[in-house]
């Protein structure tokens, strides 16, 4: 199995074939033990489900929705003769959370982690006229997985009988996320086959540096085979601007910069023997200087959202139409950015952001970390940082890495846990982008992690969870917190703030859960943010309503969306449209 450095996005070009294995697959639920016969023999009594998509909401069946443990997918495929002597690679965009892949009865890959791709080169000796591809998927979460699931009595909340006695009552096992989104699972992203010649390009890294009106472009390639790769830089219309060997410094005179809301993408064509690969890239710089966040040397202001990959029926599965709609709605609002809360998003979404000039803060799936999980998650956490940056390093839309969302940073060990990860992220990134951890510590003066990051990112719900309904108190508490963080002379982004709002509930005076309250809540907090020059961004929580575990705090999911789950605007969407269209991307706070 291949992972880590070797995760070029698959493409169809004059040297490579790309075949989709998306579509209707056979599907069966399993139990807590892996049943290899369901990977070797055709499934009996299979359901038919669509891939890519989460399995949970595809049928009106509580067994699918609340499943715990293994599930099995199968389909058959044939390989066209035109593949000939080429290498054939099977690639999964993401399977949540752990999986084993069998081909014609033999295991060919396994993978842990639900939000990043993995691939397996197929051994042609295993191939037949019709091949049985089988995937076992485990959706269980616990103190060692990212995201983190609860264990023991923590699963049932405070006041519940201790776990052992509950166990004895023979409750059906269930996942208890230590995070606030539904644990949608399955083959969530595309499955494909692609070819390369026997000697091939296995990785490409592009870095650019701007100086005196020109861009120095370095294209490095990892090759499987002896020899050197050639590079040709193309403009948007396919005209060649420079060429040379991989690793040479190439110059683009008077480059068109990749700018927020005005994206421009160049292409590096890499040729190696009988292989080639087209890597898009942008010329742009990112830098934290003092309390400013500079893109192309100018102070940028983040206007946008924390999001989710979440929708009706698809669950967390890739829905490219939805992605197109979401980006268009962000532009309609005058937003310019979002955070991939709380996991790496699909490559398809990042490609779209590159094209559309949407700025992205890319986050790992490290959500729900606490003192009980720290010692168990560190290895997976390192791995996911390495793999995420290896996958996403070339995206001009990504301007910062977020290592985690709301870990328990009050713990003494949190600082020791995060500083090596902070250094690792910097080391892995050829563009050396800023790195952060998104915190939410009520006792923020005890937080040692946030001020140690390049940008201080905090989630804050004054007026909702704290001082519920009291917007005056909310504004004062927000100001007090900003007074505290200002001393670190670093930029600050309010990465989450929001209020649950049921679309259609209205009130003359702002009442919690009404559309008017949500709009007034944002207006009250934003008035505070506007007073502080080191506040360089506001990300409302959330872009849209999304599904969560059931519970007394959630009315059919989290309703803090500025849009409904169907993407209809609430009053706050119009409020932000009015505000953000008046806030420029650059130089908002001089």
The dihedrals phi and psi of 527, each to the nearest 5 degrees, come to -60, -35
Q: Return the number of the residue (27 or 497) whose C-beta is nearest ligand GCB.
A: 497
189, 560, 565, 570: which one binds ligand GCB (CB under 6 A): 560
Neighbouring residues of 165: CB distance < 8 A, sequence distance ≥ 6 = none
Task: Report helix, strand or coil for 572.
Answer: helix
Position 518 contacts ligand GCB (CB under 6 A): no
Q: Cα dihedral angle (372, 374, 377, 381), rounded to 10 degrees?
A: 150
Q: Which of residues 335-364 bind ligand GCB (CB under 6 A)?
A: 342
Q: Which of residues 107-146 bind ligand GCB (CB under 6 A)?
A: none
Task: Report helix, strand or coil for 47.
Answer: strand
Give how far the C-alpha of residue 342 lies from the chain's centroid of Cα atoms, to the nearest Å.
Answer: 6
CB of 157 to ligand GCB, least distance (A): 15
Query: Taking Cα atoms as reference points, which of 315, 314, 311 lies closest to residue 326?
Result: 311
Position 309 contacts ligand GCB (CB under 6 A): no
Position 440 contacts ligand GCB (CB under 6 A): yes
The dihedrals phi and psi of 96, each to the nearest 5 degrees, come to -105, 130
CA separation for the pair 46, 73 (Å, rounded): 9
Q: Which of residues 483-502 bind ligand GCB (CB under 6 A)?
A: 496
Query: Taking Cα atoms as reference points, which of 36, 59, 37 lies closest to residue 47?
Result: 59
Query: What count of other Cβ atoms lies within 10 Å of the Cβ of residue 366?
Result: 27
Position 370 contacts ligand GCB (CB under 6 A): no
- Please identify the residue of the shown chain whose CB is closest to the bound ligand GCB: 180
**Alpha helices (runs of H) in 300-442, residue ranges in sequence order:** 320-333, 347-356, 374-392, 412-428
Position 559 contacts ligand GCB (CB under 6 A): no
CA separation for the pair 156, 154 (Å, rounded): 5
| Inter-residue contact 201 to 275 (CB < 8 Å) | yes
Place of tokens 């907090």: 525
Place of tokens 């934290």: 288
Q: Which of residues 459-478 bind ligand GCB (CB under 6 A)?
A: 459
Query: Taking Cα atoms as reference points, which of 31, 32, 36, 63 lies closest to residue 47?
Result: 63
Q: Return the number of the residue (73 or 517) whose C-beta is nearest ligand GCB.
A: 517
Position 406 contacts ligand GCB (CB under 6 A): yes
Q: Return the number of the residue (87 or 342) whose C-beta is nearest ligand GCB.
A: 342
| Inter-residue contact 514 to 583 (CB < 8 Å) | no
CB of 545 to ligand GCB, least distance (A): 10
CB of 167 to ligand GCB, least distance (A): 28
56, 405, 431, 518: which one binds ligand GCB (CB under 6 A): 405
CB of 179 to ligand GCB, least distance (A): 6
55, 399, 558, 588: which one binds ligand GCB (CB under 6 A): 558
Site string for ligand GCB, 175-214 (x = CB under 6 A): -----x----------------------------------
Q: Return the number of the residue (227 or 551) whose C-beta is nearest ligand GCB.
A: 551
The dihedrals phi and psi of 387, each to the nearest 5 degrees, come to -70, -40
CB of 449 to ligand GCB, least distance (A): 15
CB of 310 to ligand GCB, least distance (A): 11
CB of 140 to ligand GCB, least distance (A): 20
CA atoms within 13 A on the CB side of 366: 33
How far apart, in Å, are the Cα atoms of 62 and each of 52, 58, 72, 250, 283?
Answer: 20, 11, 17, 57, 49
CB of 406 to ligand GCB, least distance (A): 5
CB of 149 to ligand GCB, least distance (A): 15
Numbers of helices and strands, H then E, in the chain: 10, 30
CB of 341 to ligand GCB, least distance (A): 6
**Alpha helices (runs of H) in 243-299, residue ranges in sequence order:** none
Q: Return the number of the residue (147 or 334) whose C-beta is nearest ligand GCB.
A: 147
How far apart, in Å, are the Cα atoms of 204 and each of 207, 390, 436, 451, 537?
Answer: 10, 10, 25, 34, 32
Instruction: State the number of binding residues for ligand GCB (CB under 6 A).
Output: 10
Q: Return the number of the residue (319 or 496) whose C-beta is nearest ligand GCB.
A: 496
Q: Return the number of the residue (447 or 496) whose C-beta is nearest ligand GCB.
A: 496
Task: Report helix, strand or coil for 378.
Answer: helix
DSSP state of 30: -
Among all residues, which ones are annotated catalytic? 406, 496
Q: Which of residues 532-551 bind ligand GCB (CB under 6 A)?
A: 541
Sign of CA pseudo-dihedral 345, 351, 354, 358: negative
Query: Taking Cα atoms as reference points, which of 278, 192, 3 lies closest to residue 116?
Result: 3
Q: Return the number of the residue (433 or 559) whose C-beta is nearest ligand GCB.
A: 559
The residues binding ligand GCB (CB under 6 A) are: 180, 342, 405-406, 440, 459, 496, 541, 558, 560
């Amino acid at each position: 199995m291949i992972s880590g450095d070797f995760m070029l996005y698959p493409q169809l070009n004059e040297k490579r074939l790309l075949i989709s294995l998306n579509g209707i697959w056979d599907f069966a639920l399993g139990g807590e033990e892996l049943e290899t016969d369901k990977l070797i023999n055709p499934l009996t009594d299979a359901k038919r489900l669509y891939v890519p998509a989460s399995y949970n909401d595809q049928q009106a069946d509580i067994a699918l929705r609340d499943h715990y443990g293994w599930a099995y997918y199968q389909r058959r495929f044939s390989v066209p003769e035109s593949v000939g002597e080429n290498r054939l690679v099977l690639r999964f965009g993401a399977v949540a959370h752990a999986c084993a892949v069998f081909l014609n009865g033999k295991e060919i890959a396994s993978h842990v982690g639900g939000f990043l791709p993995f691939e397996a080169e197929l051994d042609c000796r295993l191939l037949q006229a019709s091949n049985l591809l089988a995937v076992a998927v485990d959706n269980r979460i616990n103190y060692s997985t990212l995201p983190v699931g609860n264990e023991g009595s923590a699963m049932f909340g405070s006041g519940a009988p201790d776990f052992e006695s509950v166990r004895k009552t023979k409750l059906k096992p269930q996942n208890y996320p230590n995070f606030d989104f539904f644990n949608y699972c399955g083959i969530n992203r595309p499955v494909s086959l692609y070819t390369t010649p026997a000697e091939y390009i296995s990785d490409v890294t592009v870095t650019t540096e701007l100086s005196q009106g020109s861009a120095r472009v370095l294209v490095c390639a990892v090759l499987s085979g002896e020899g050197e790769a050639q590079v040709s830089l193309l403009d948007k219309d396919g005209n060649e601007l420079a060429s040379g060997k991989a690793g040479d410094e190439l110059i683009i005179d008077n480059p068109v910069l990749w700018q927020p809301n005005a994206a421009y993408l160049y292409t590096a064509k890499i040729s190696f023997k009988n292989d080639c690969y087209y890597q898009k890239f942008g010329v742009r710089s990112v830098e934290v200087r003092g309390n400013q966040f500079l893109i192309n040397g100018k102070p940028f202001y983040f206007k946008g959202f924390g999001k989710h990959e979440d929708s009706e029926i698809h669950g967390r599965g890739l829905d490219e139409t939805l992605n197109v709609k979401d980006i268009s709605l962000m532009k309609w609002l005058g937003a310019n950015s979002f955070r991939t809360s709380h996991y790496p998003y699909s490559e398809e979404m990042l490609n779209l952001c590159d094209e559309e000039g949407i700025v992205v803060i890319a986050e790992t799936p490290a959500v729900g970390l606490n003192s009980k999980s720290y010692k168990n998650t560190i290895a997976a956490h390192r791995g996911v940082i390495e793999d995420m940056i290896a996958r996403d390093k070339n995206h001009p839309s990504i301007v910062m890495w977020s290592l985690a969302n709301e870990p328990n940073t009050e713990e003494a060990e949190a600082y020791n846990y995060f500083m090596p990860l902070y250094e690792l992220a910097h080391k892995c990134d050829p563009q050396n982008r800023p790195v952060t951890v998104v915190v939410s510590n009520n006792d923020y003066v005890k937080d040692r992690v946030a001020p140690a990051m390049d940008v201080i990112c905090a989630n804050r719900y004054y007026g909702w969870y704290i001082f519920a309904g009291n917007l005056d108190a909310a504004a004062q508490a927000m100001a007090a917190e900003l007074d505290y963080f200002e001393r670190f002379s670093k930029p600050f982004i309010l990465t989450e703030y929001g209020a649950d709002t049921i679309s259609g509930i209205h009130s003359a005076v702002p009442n919690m859960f009404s559309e008017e309250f949500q709009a007034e809540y944002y207006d009250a907090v934003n008035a505070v943010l506007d007073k502080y020059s080191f506040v360089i961004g506001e990300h409302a929580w959330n872009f849209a309503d999304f599904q969560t575990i059931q519970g007394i705090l959630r009315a059919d999911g989290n309703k803090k969306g500025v849009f409904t789950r169907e993407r209809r605007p609430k009053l706050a969407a119009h409020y932000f449209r009015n505000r953000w269209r008046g806030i420029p991307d650059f130089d908002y706070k001089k």
